[in-house]
Amino acid sequence: AEALSRLQAPAEAQSTLALGVQAALEAYSVLLYRVHFSTRGLGLALLGWGLSDEGGARWEDISMHDQLDLGCDPLLGEALSSPRAFAVARESDRARIAFAIGPLGEAKWLLEVHSMHRPERQLLKAVGVLLQCFENGQRVWEYANLDTLTRLLNRKTFDTNFEQLIALAERAERSTNDRRSESTGATMPCWLGVLDIDHFKRINDNFGHLFGDEVLLLFAERMRSCFRVQDKLFRFGGEEFVVMIRHVREDHVKGIFERFRLSVERYDFPQVGQVTCSVGYTRIDPAYTPAELLGRADAALYYAKEHGRNQVGSFD
């Protein structure tokens, strides 16, 4: 619990929490999910899992790869809706325990534990301490790294995430000829997209800043619904947003941005009605500096704006 309380970086905190619970409950496996809601309903993104064997406990973090987006089975649903924030089920001679992390009805994570026996009450209390440390640390991290209005990543976090994306793109290029990597999608390119709400000043002038803020909130929700869990979503400032997309084929990426553009165009924004957006994107080429790559995406966005708005432009 002390070690966990000092960690705020999500990946470190997630593995420490999961392996801590696994040790406390003497479990043989543990899975950590991120809970997210969209127009399609409740979804779970698998962040990683821990396994325990004769060699000890080990954690496999899959947050840097394609995450499995799963539905919610009855036990996990019971944990999310229970005031106790956990649920236990017997499966043959083993026990399956699910812990919801976060306030009732607003849980952001789920921890699924597989054990040889049902845990005692004292152990469940110990797990509660670990969950609270994890939640507190993540709340501090979110306060520093998320935009206060939309809850997307803020401008301050862009540089670090962009460097990581460029590193992924560089590894993808190096492994293009490695047959072992082809099936994982790790050889596919990475992309940077800049999204801008069309005529946003007109929205603020005609309807007021309160409705303007609501448009920003709903636009961010459109982004969460249309892009994958592992894609990085930023509010860059004002009505400008940025998306970092990992490992997508070149002949698929425009369709991803077009799907988002259509989602915004067809959405009925309260009071405001129809809102459109323009998108510019570029492939992440490690030969260019971050400033040059961002400039390319901006140039594509500017081209889309200059040629009628409500369209997707590629730098190429």
Which residues are known to be catalytic? Answer: 239
Q: Which of 303, 279, 284 is nearest to 294 (CA)?
A: 284
For 130, the token pair is 């670990």
DSSP state of 153: B
Q: Is 2 exposed, middle or buried (0-12, 13-18, 19+ CB in 10 A)?
A: exposed
Q: How many helices (H) and strands (E) does the chain have?
A: 10, 12
Q: Which two tokens stand for residue 256?
A: 């991803």
Please identify which residue in the block is written with the tokens 């009605």.
273
CA distance 200 to 250: 30
SS3 content of the chain, % helix, strand, coil (to 5): 45, 25, 30
Closest by CA position to 111, among listed 175, 169, 59? 59
Q: What is the largest CA-CA distance in the chain?
A: 67
Locate 286 and state its tokens: 């490690």
Return the SS3 of 205: helix
Please give the Cα distance from 18 to 309 (Å, whole number).
46
